[in-house]
Structure 1
Amino acid sequence: MSTIDSLFVTRLYRAALSEHGKPIDTSELEASCWSIAEDDEAGQEWCEENGYPGYTSYASLTDLPYRFPIFKDLVKVLDKHVKTFAEDLEFDLDGRKLKLEDIWINILPQGGVHTSHIHPHSIISGTTYVAVPTGASAIKFEDPRLQMMMAAPPRQKSARDALRSFIYKAPEPGDVLLWESWLRHEVPVNMSEDERISISFNYSW
């Protein structure tokens, strides 16, 4: 009897932040993001110089958990989610723990995009969502084998998720998504009139 197996699976973790640890007040988190963005002149200048739409603290602030207690609380919760995901991935960590490498704010205005990229120096990457207005972009993930499918026909529109070339996930405020850092992803154009606010992060070994 013939069999068809799935090989080399790509895992995507999705959960509510509240599933692990202390509940995080997203309204307080949003207020903190705006306060940091307004005060972070270096970040504003970097965004302007590099043509980055809206605001990110990626290139300017490396100590958010020390600046605002709510970010410290957030990291404690994220640590638990990442631990759960790492166990699912069956990593052999040799008794070591994955540690937060960096965490940053993203405020994407109407018309803003975040082009396709990976996080090459990390193990697990992710985003938690603070404000996702109606019409805001879903996050788009790309099949990592795509560049090798030189003569492959397109998939049927009804193809199951595991066989699609691209997967879109529309998060809700308070959600956290985790993936292995080699997985290419992007944020398409924000069609909402309101800002899409998220907090991204990397964990390393």
Structure 2
Amino acid sequence: MPQIESLFVTRLYRAALSEFDPRIDPEELESSCLVIAEDDEAGQEWCEENGYSGYTSYASLTDLPWRFPIFADLVKVLDQHVAAFVEDLEFDLDGRELKLEDLWINILPEGGMHASHLHPHSVISGTTYVAMPKGASALKLEDPRSARMMAAPVRRKDARRELQPFIYMKPEVGDVLLWESWLRHEVPMNMAEDERISVSFNYRWD
């Protein structure tokens, strides 16, 4: 009998933010995101100048945990989720830790999207979901081998999940998703009438 096994597995971590303390009030987190977006004129200008639909604090604010206590609490929780994922990935960190590199807010209105990208200078990237109205877009993850498949035929539409070229993860409010930063991902167009709100982050090997 032939033996077939899966090699070089891509891991994806999904959990409820509430798995670890301190507890994060989802309504307070959402209101904080909206207040920051309204007050962040530099971020608004950056979004307008760069044709970014909606709002992101990525290019304007680097100190969210200092500005709002709820973001400081959020980092404490994310640290624990990242530590759990690192354990699963069996990284040898040589006595060092993965530490938060940056943390930013994303607010996508109807029609907004995030183009396909990766985070080449980080180890772990992720997002926690603050508002996901009905019809809000999923996270789209791309098979990292796609650029090397060259002459390979396309997969059947009913191919097994681990063989699909793209995976769509539909998170719920309060979920946190983590992946290795080399994994290409995007947020397709938001088809919901209401805003899709999330907080994204990167961790580096310090």
TM-score of the alignment, normalized to the shorter chain, above 0.5: yes
TM-score (norm 2): 0.98
Residue matched to 2:5: 5
Matches for 1:91-106 after TM superposition, within 5 Å: 91-106=91-106
Are 2:164 and 1:160 aligned? no
Matches for 1:74-153 after TM superposition, within 5 Å: 74-153=74-153
The alignment yields a C-alpha RMSD, in angstroms, of 0.6
Provide the rounded CA distance (Å) in 1 between the counterparts of 2:159 and 2:98.
Answer: 35
Identity across matched positions, percent: 77
Q: CA deviation at 1:36?
A: 0.3
Residue matched to 1:176: 176
Provide the rounded CA distance (Å) in 1 between the counterparts of 2:99 and 2:148.
Answer: 33
Q: State the AA in 1 paired with 2:36.
A: I
Q: Note the alpha carbon deviations across 1:7-59, whole angstroms, 9 max, x for none.
A: 11000000000111222111100000000000000000000000001000000
What stretches of structure 1 of length at least 5 have no aligned partner?
none
Matched position secondary structure for 1:62? coil
Provide the rounded CA distance (Å) in 1 between the counterparts of 2:16 and 2:137.
Answer: 19
Q: Note the alpha carbon deviations across 1:123-181, whole angstroms, 9 max, x for none.
A: 00000000000000000000000011111111122212111100000000000000000
Provide the rounded CA distance (Å) in 2 between the counterparts of 1:113 and 1:174.
Answer: 20
TM-score (norm 1): 0.99
How many residues align? The count is: 205
Q: State the AA in 2 paired with 1:110.
A: E
What stretches of structure 2 of length at least 5 have no aligned partner?
none
Provide the rounded CA distance (Å) in 2 between the counterparts of 1:39 and 1:189.
Answer: 25
Provide the rounded CA distance (Å) in 1 between the counterparts of 2:159 and 2:175.
Answer: 26
Provide the rounded CA distance (Å) in 2 between the counterparts of 1:75 and 1:53.
Answer: 26
Provide the rounded CA distance (Å) in 1 between the counterparts of 2:20 and 2:183.
Answer: 24
Q: State the AA in 2 paired with 1:95.
A: G
Runs of 4+ in 1 over 3 A off after TM superposition: none
Residue matched to 2:199: 199
Residue matched to 2:41: 41
Q: State the AA in 1 paired with 2:103.
A: I
Residue matched to 2:22: 22
Q: CA deviation at 1:2?
A: 2.1
